[in-house]
Structure 1
Amino acid sequence: MTAHESAAAPVADSRPIVRSHHGDDVEDRYEWFRAKEDAEVIAHLEAENSYTESRTAHLEALRGRIFDEIKGRTLETDLSVPARRGDWWYYGRTVEGKQYGIQCRAPLASPDDWTPPVLSPDTEVPGEQILLDGNIEAEGHEFFSLGSFEVTTDGSLMLYGVDVAGDERYTVRVRDLTTGEQLADEIPGTFAGATFSPDGRFIVYSTVDDAWRPDTVWLHELGTAVDTDAKLFHEPDERYWVGAGFTRSDRYLVIGLGSSITSEEWLLDADDLRGEPRVVWPRREGIEYDSSHAVVDGEDVLYVLHNDGALDFELIRVSASDPAGASEVVIPHRPGQRLLGVSTFRDWGVVGYRRGGLARLGMLDYATGAVDELDFDEPLYAVGSGGNPEWAPPLLRLGYGSFVTPGTVYDLDVATRELHLRKRQPVLGGYDPEDYAQARLWVTATDGAQIPVSLVWKRSFGEAGAAPRPLHLYGYGSYEHSIEPGFSVPRLSELDRGVVFAVAHVRGGGEMGRQWYEDGKLLAKRNTFTDFVDCARHLVDAGYTTPAQMVAEGGSAGGLLMGAVANLAPELFAGILADVPFVDALTTILDPSLPLTVIEWDEWGDPLHNADVYAYMKSYTPYENVRTDAAYPRILAVTSLNDTRVLYVEPAKWVARLREVGADALLKCEMVAGHGGVSGRYNAWKERAFELAWLFDVLGVAD
């Protein structure tokens, strides 16, 4: 036995607590871990960290090499592509040796200037102003996150929201950019996404209830006391999240609320924010919609995307003054083409949708309703519009990338449809995308469903599938969230060692349309798990890899997937990496006092009041289904003490239970971090280097 294997694992006290629901009594020996302020709990987590560090100490040099590879491929001093707003170009800087970004701006050359300046780290930018240096703001704090950042339309004031604990509660502050003075206005305990009113007189922000649900929208007038802020909207129903933002046209404030299956919007005139909001469509259970304001033929209209009788959504146009009145179908429902959203500008719109498992973008002609799809020549890619704050631009900013093409910024000339390359993410060290390949294969699930699997690999090791290779299989499969084929610098450290990276686009995600999501939630949730197992088994049977050469990874709800497949098919994997894993799902969803529980009932079901849902969730929840008859793969669970979405207690309990049956399970708990892990880019690289070193050790990949 090697030194790193001989360390003694922490043994947690067994303090049984009985949970009773629907006539079922369950003894939980580790629920006492939930007492976050208990010194014994903290001591146990610290002991777990010490054990994990001792068990992985032999990987320290490898971790250092991986970190150096990530760092060495990254242009540390760099600038983003400027985006125009008002009289300024706004952009961000990163500086070598600095953890956090720096927000900057520079004046336009002229009012007709729509071509962003080409910025170089080595060249001074004329008229540059540093608006916010995250490194200065983070001084004295182990954690720093920016949840809100905005400048008024006239460029005179800036707001920013800061979290220094990782619990996603932000304090909003305001700075006068003409004088540099910090204003007295300070709003604690906000949710992310605070915004200025178009005239700069007000801040609109949201707060959360005790269950971490954004439930109230507030109006703060600059220069007044926070305790006099006006409550614009409050939603008492615990199933609904609430948020607010202004239309690109600055015509309305839109207050949006939604559960997983139902939504509702209210409009306030931007020039009368103390008025009464009016509903677009009253909520109806199971109906989702969102609206976007435009002006067509001189009339204020709303383009409304909805699923009323349209599973994959349709787009209609209605009068903004009478949204429940007459409507015109702009894009009819087409099964299998999932409409995702519409962004409206003065003269045209942009429609996002999914077809064939890929994201698409199309330009919308207001006069005809025609949609002109943008073409890209890679078989797998991700594309979206973003960074377009102006109401009447001649150009549309796009983000593009693939598994092999680094993140790319284009400006589309809307009149000519010409794409202007503004920037491609630099990858140092001689990266050549031609050295890598990507492909998609389709796996037949047990029930006949066709599951897309995306692959990327380095060509010099041979074609994927030509011979068994180390393989890293990633999955998520919840909330209709799609895993896009995007580029990753840390992933190159895998590919360059001969590892094939794969994504199983399992049901419960949104890759193949709304039905794909419906078939992987509630009482169909098991499809998510069996799809992943079917994909893993196919990759073995087809010769891509072997069980001894495969590691699975998933995070959050994807961590639930990891725990479930560990129980379903432990023999298929050499290791399982579970990031902030939702592995004690039933205990959490039974407790409506916990963050997010009630709103989650639309996703998982309500086991508190429904015995069938209780029995179904109990049948798959990883913590309650740890097997005594299984030889588990090596497991690494990573969590954060201040995570408000998936509490640290879930993976802590899971690891303790796995140890009872002899599993080689490690827990790494960040003691100052939230759901997204550590803050700061260097810290994030170190965290990923830790995980990849463990993964390479499991796979036996030679360094």
Structure 2
Amino acid sequence: MTQVKVQPPVAKRIPKELKIHGDVRLDDYFWLNQREDQEVLDYLNAENAYCDELTAHTKEFQEHLFEEMKSRIKEDDQSVPYKYNGYWYIVKYETGKDYPIYIRKKETLEAEDELLFDCNEMAQGHDYFRLVGLNVSPDNTLISFGLDTVGRRNYTLKVKNLVTNEILPDSIENTTGSASWANDNITLFYTKKDTETLRSDKIYKHKLGNDETNDTLVFHEADDTFGVTVYKSKSRKYLVIACYSTLTNEYHILNADTPDESFKLFQERIRGVEYSISHYGDNFYVVTNSDNATNFKLMKTPETATGIENWQEVIGHREDVLIEDIDIFKDFLVVSERSNGLNEIRIIRWDGTEDYYLPFDNETYTAYTGTNVDFDTDILRYGYNSLTTPSSTIDFNMVTKTKTVKKEQEVLGGKFDKENYVSERIWATADDGTKIPMSMVYRKGIKKDGSNPLLQYAYGSYGSTIDPYFSTIRLSLLDRGFIYVISHVRGGEYLGRQWYEDGKLLTKTNTFTDFIACSKHLISEKYTSKEHLYALGGSAGGLLIGAVINLAPELYKGVIAAVPFVDVVTTMLDDSIPLTTGEYDEWGNPNEVDYYNYMKSYSPYDNVKAQDYPNILVTTGLHDSQVQYWEPAKWVAKLRLLKTDSNKLLLKTNMTAGHGGASGRFEALKEDAEEYAFLLDLENINN
């Protein structure tokens, strides 16, 4: 590994006192939160230059990794077609092009292509480009869509005439990018964002041809801990406004045939009661945790009497099975469940004559229902993959119980054979005795002698479960001797809803100590050693990485923290920042002293201290709306000041992107190649 004697940038220190609850925190780098300030931009550019200089010896290797990753991807590819309202819809990619092309075919797949959008043409002249929210009108002549050319997830809503191929003059700024059509083909309902916090807080009604200033406000979510969205039921009968927070839901419904009438409250919000609704026949089906159904249950209620007092049980609550979602068809109900961490898909006939599960026999895998927009069909589309098995799209006939693999992900290059890899699930024991599952993959033939480089990944927040999934990119690590591990720490929902409850608010530190317990287990079982163990996390997973290296830095040779949420206390005290108020139920409200003290005890930025840290690569985006760039920038500045080692500390800021990084499918690979080169370089692997 080449050592380059270059002096790192030093951020100036301007102490700022932050006072609350009689406590004072000194923040030397608060000034970095001025996005437009030239001195801030100069500092970020200096960090980029320093990062580039210290990794210059890996540039050729990065390019090699990029080409290797790219070579496995089928460039001229297309999605499995799905049929909706008389048309087949397809997404295509063409060789050498970064962005998708959307087409449709009328009635039959043999029909000629109708071009909806060529994003490669639309993206020209933009450093960042993203098209979202495609929604076709009931008469198939119009399509609404959202555009973002900054990366801040703030979309301009537009409409295209599919008969004339003209973009209509209708243009609405500051939206989520998605919209829903009423059945009259001229009325659109859409969601507006607060201009400062970017909270989705208002639903408007737009009539085609009208200026945005004449749009009608139909719903305003005044509670700043909630967001809102609007969509149409799969039955196409109802328009639905969904109000959501971390712990609570509320819905409002309107017959899509009468868009000028008022939405009707489905069931008013009750703090702590979550529910989701699906329409079928004369009823709504409700997945809910009401009455302490921690893992959720399925209820139904007449469409004329939707209050909670009318809900009747269809599938009861079970301690060992989490109900995640349902899909409704004319003759079948499909329930997505999770048992012992594994996905299960249950199929029930409405007439009660059948009730069975799809068979899956792997030790660790991912299965999920796919695009099932057609109501009157016996075909269930689902996806399947595992750490060793490329992703498949499968059509399952729920009557004949036969399946057709519509597409299996191709891994090009001629070198991949899934028989060369092994996946397994193992369990570590946390400090409190809880068993923590891990899913891992590696090439056959590794020895458990402590010499293997190992990358340990986790997320662990919002009840978001990281299922064991296949990755062609990851092969670049596996084929160079790395073991890859997903630690299913508390804060996710891998082992049910309680797994989430035990890793948030005043139990958040379980997420971090679980990860450390997994690391220690991997070392004690000689999968790896402290000299070869690496950790990776992004966003809230970046918070995990920051907390872990404060608590147990000696366990890791290097870590990558991608767009990390590391300044928890300051961010959660600033209700002008996007997401903050909506996250009180996840992290706590630090305006309350107990939450403040607890947050302060683990917030990575507040707990940086004079000690040795591992090698660290931190990435961020200047326009990130989820985790503001200044959090990682401040964290790196403080680490530079206090750390007592000579290990690498690198900050890479994408000056033209946001939370998701680069927008092109191959540009994003360059970021992966940079991260992998950082890890491999630390192992003295350079080819």
TM-score between the two structures when normalised by the length of structure 2: 0.97
| 1:490-529 → structure 2 map (5 Å cutoff) | 490-529=473-512
Structure 1 stretch 219-228 or stretch 55-64: which is displaced more? Answer: 219-228
Number of equivalenced pairs:
681
2:642 maps to which residue? Answer: 661
Choose which of 337, 341, 344 in structure 1 pairs with 2:325. Answer: 341
Change (3 A) 1:307 1:452: farther
CA distance 1:304–1:499, change in 2 (3 Å): closer
Q: Which residue of 1 aligns with 2:384?
A: 400
Is 1:700–2:684 an aligned residue pair?
yes
1:195 equivalent to 2:180? Answer yes
Residue 300 of structure 2: which of 317, 323, 328 is its match? 317
- Give the match's secondary structure for 1:673: coil
Q: Distance in 2 between matches of 1:686 and 1:692?
A: 10
Give the CA deviation at 1:385.
Answer: 1.3
CA distance in 2, matches of 1:371, 1:674: 45
- How far apart in 2 are the matches of 1:198 and 1:82? 24
User: Any conservation in 2 of the 1:551–1:699 contact (CA below 8 Å)?
Assistant: no
Cα offsets for 1:85-131 (capped at 9, x unmatched): 1221110111111110100112223xxxxxxx5xxxxxxx6411221
Question: Matches of 1:606 and 1:70 in 2, distance apart?
Answer: 43
Distance 1:674 1:426 in 2: 30
8 Å contact from structure 2 (residues 558, 679) kept in 1: yes
Aligned mate of 1:285, from 271, 278, 291:
271
Deviation of 1:365 after TM superposition, in Å, equals: 2.3
Deviates more, 1:273-282 or 1:588-597: 273-282
Equivalent residue letter for 2:4: E
Distance 1:318 1:370 in 2: 22
SS across alignment from 1:528: helix
Deviations 1:465-513 (A, max 9, x none): 4653110000110000000111111100001001000011000011011
Distance 2:254 2:18 in 1: 46
Cα distance in 2 between the residues matched to 1:286 and 1:302: 19
1:85·1:153 contact (CA, 8 Å) conserved in 2?
Answer: no
- What pairs with 1:86-485 in structure 2 (closer than 5 Å)? 86-109=85-108, 117=109, 126-209=111-194, 210-295=196-281, 299-324=282-307, 325-368=309-352, 371-430=355-414, 431-459=416-444, 461-462=445-446, 465=448, 468-485=451-468
- Rounded to whole Å, the distance in 1 between the matches of 2:311 and 2:605 is 50
Partners of 2:330 and 2:218 in 1: CA distance: 28
1:112 alignment partner in structure 2: none
Q: Supply the AA of the counterpart residue of 1:611.
A: V
Contact 1:303/1:342, CA 8 A, preserved across alignment: no
1:636 aligns with 2:617: yes
Aligned partner of 2:262: which letter?
E
- 1:445 Cα offset (Å): 0.7
Note if contact 2:157-2:178 (Cα within 8 Å) is conserved in structure 1.
no
**8 Å CA contact 2:621, 2:654 repeated in 1:** yes
Q: Distance in 2 between matches of 1:301 and 1:44?
A: 55
CA distance in 1, matches of 2:623, 2:292: 41
Structure 1 residue 61: deviation in Å? 1.1
Query: Is contact 1:342–1:351 with CA below 8 Å preserved after alignment?
Result: yes
CA 1:369/1:359 → structure 2, altered by over 3 Å: closer, same or farther?
farther
Does 1:530 pair with 2:513?
yes
Q: Is the 8 A contact 2:572 2:581 kept in 1?
A: yes
Amino acid at match of 2:516: V
Summarize deviations over 1:155-193 as a string: whole Å, max 9, x none.
Answer: 211221110000111111111111112211111111132
Gaps of 5+ in 1: 110-116, 118-124
In structure 2, the partner of 1:120 is: none
Moved more, 189-198 or 68-77: 189-198
Partner of 1:114: none
CA distance in 1 between partners of 2:289 and 2:349 (Å) = 19
**8 Å contact 2:76–2:94 — kept in the other structure?**
yes
CA contact (8 A) 2:58 2:686 kept: no
Alignment correspondent of 2:470: 487
Distance of 1:343 and 1:491 partners within structure 2: 32
Matched residue, 1:615 = 597
How far did 1:308 drift? 2.9
In structure 2, the gaps of 5 or more residues are none
Matching residue of 1:121 = none
User: Equivalent residue for 2:40?
Assistant: 41
> 1:195, CA displacement in angstroms?
2.7
Equivalent residue number for residue 53 of structure 1: 52
Checking the alignment, whether the CA contact within 8 Å between 2:145 and 2:177 is kept in structure 1 is no
SS of match in other structure, 1:681: coil
Identical amino acids, percent of aligned pairs: 41
**Cα distance change of structure 1 residues 250 and 94 upon mapping to structure 2, 3 Å threshold:** same
The range that moved more, 527-536 or 343-352, is 343-352
Structure 2 distance, partners of 1:279, 1:370, is 34
Residue type of the alignment partner of 1:571: E
Q: CA deviation at 1:151?
A: 1.8
For the residue of structure 2 that corresponds to 1:323, the secondary structure is coil
Following TM superposition, by how much is the alpha carbon of 1:345 offset from its aligned partner in structure 2, in angstroms? Answer: 2.1
SS in 2 for 1:193: strand
Q: Distance in 2 between matches of 1:528 and 1:140?
A: 43
Structure-to-structure mapping, 1:536-615, within 5 angstroms: 536-608=519-591, 610-615=592-597
Please state how far the C-alpha of 1:371 moved relative to its aligned partner: 4.1
Deviation at 1:304, TM superposition (A): 3.9
Instruction: Measure how far apart 1:7 and its partner are.
Output: 1.5
Check whether the contact 2:147–2:177 (CA below 8 A) recurs between aligned residues.
no
Residue 36 of structure 1 and its aligned partner are, at CA, apart by: 0.6
User: For 1:200 and 1:227, how far apart are their aligned partners in 2?
Assistant: 20
CA–CA distance in structure 1, aligned partners of residues 560 and 216 of structure 2: 46
Using the TM superposition, name which of 204-213 and 247-256 deviates more: 204-213
Distance in 2 separating the partners of 1:371 and 1:49 = 57
Kept after mapping to 1: 8 A contact 2:489/2:514? yes
SS at match of 1:51: helix
Q: Is the CA contact 1:232–1:274 (under 8 Å) kept in the aligned structure 2?
A: no
Alignment CA distance shift 1:30-1:370 (3 Å): farther
Letter in 2 for 1:22: H
**What displacement does 1:702 show?**
5.2
Compared CA separation, residues 369 and 532, structure 1 to 2 (3 A): farther
